[in-house]
Amino acid sequence: MNEILQGLIQAFWLVLSFDSELITISLRSLYVTVTALVISALIAFPLAAFLVVTRFTFRRAIVVTLNALMGLPPVVVGLIVYILFSRSGPLGVLGLLYTTSAMIIAQVIIITPLITSIAHQSMQELWSDYRNLLISINISKMQRVGTLMWDSKRALITACLAGFGRGIGEVGAIMIVGGNIDNATRVLTTAISLETSRGDFALALALGFVLISLAMSVSFATHWFGKTERGDLR
């Protein structure tokens, strides 16, 4: 109990004093996850809309696979990315191992199936509403994709939120491919893990506190944005 209290006090202190290391680590966390999220969204949303508006042979198989990949254990993703980018691996020449780029790649692999599935689900519902109208108005496939994405933007924001939560709190994969190197690849989660193993629970808790605040403020901001965006519509 005492440790929790101490952790909270120290966390407040670290935040209020704009502790430079804390800020660097937090910003790095944000950088990795937000970048991964943007890349994932650029892949996931058009893909999900495309899967909804087209009918082709392996469509269902792809949807099922994506749903299954949602449960992909991050550690395994980390392992695979590690093998790909390790010096003897097929992509070793790129020299990305133990960089934030490798961490971003790992997170893209973790986040993309998740937000594709969420987006696909809601766009599927919208499509069953819209289908006849959009076909009747004779709009192109690209325009269908655009219309679906635009009109389900609230669901897509929610998907982003879920993706952000998954990414910012993820530790297994980025620990393996990033290596938790001080001043280079250390982020909030890996720092917490390190401080815990070192026995510095107070600092670990302080970092955890910042992590939770980050996740929650993003969530509140999104909620607020969604509300003002849509006015009275539920």
Query: Which stretches of the chain bind another protein, using CB under 8 A?
Result: 126, 129-130, 132-133, 135-139, 143, 147, 151, 231-233
Task: Pick the closer one to another protein by CB: 133 or 216.
Answer: 133
Task: Pick the closer one to another protein by CB: 99 or 147.
Answer: 147
Least distance between another protein and beta carbon 48 (Å): 17
Query: Can you read off the two tokens belonging to residue 23?
Result: 């800020």
What one-character-per-residue DSSP string does 99-149 give? Answer: SHHHHHHHHHHHHHHHHHHHHHHHHHHHHHHHHHHHHHTT--HHHHHHHHH
Task: Pick the closer one to another protein by CB: 21 or 125.
Answer: 125
Task: Pick the closer one to another protein by CB: 71 or 231.
Answer: 231
Number of Cβ within a 10 Å radius of residue 74: 21
Least distance between another protein and beta carbon 116 (Å): 21
Least distance between another protein and beta carbon 130 (Å): 7
Task: Pick the closer one to another protein by CB: 118 or 211.
Answer: 118
What one-character-per-residue DSSP string does 7-35 give? Answer: HHHHHHHHHHTT-HHHHHHHHHHHHHHHH
Least distance between another protein and beta carbon 45 (Å): 17
Query: Can you read off the two tokens belonging to residue 203?
Result: 């600092």
Chain centroid offset of residue 158 CA: 12
Query: Can you read off the two tokens belonging to residue 65?
Result: 């696979």
Least distance between another protein and beta carbon 233 (Å): 5
Task: Pick the closer one to another protein by CB: 85 or 127.
Answer: 127
Least distance between another protein and beta carbon 143 (Å): 6
Least distance between another protein and beta carbon 128 (Å): 11
Query: Can you read off the two tokens belonging to residue 36?
Result: 């991964």
Matching residue, tokens 């943007």: 38
Task: Pick the closer one to another protein by CB: 130 or 209.
Answer: 130
Query: Can you say whether the dihedral through the CA atoms of 28, 205, 176, 118 is positive or negative?
Result: negative
**210 burial type by CB count under 10 A (0-12 exposed, 13-18 middle, 19+ buried):** buried
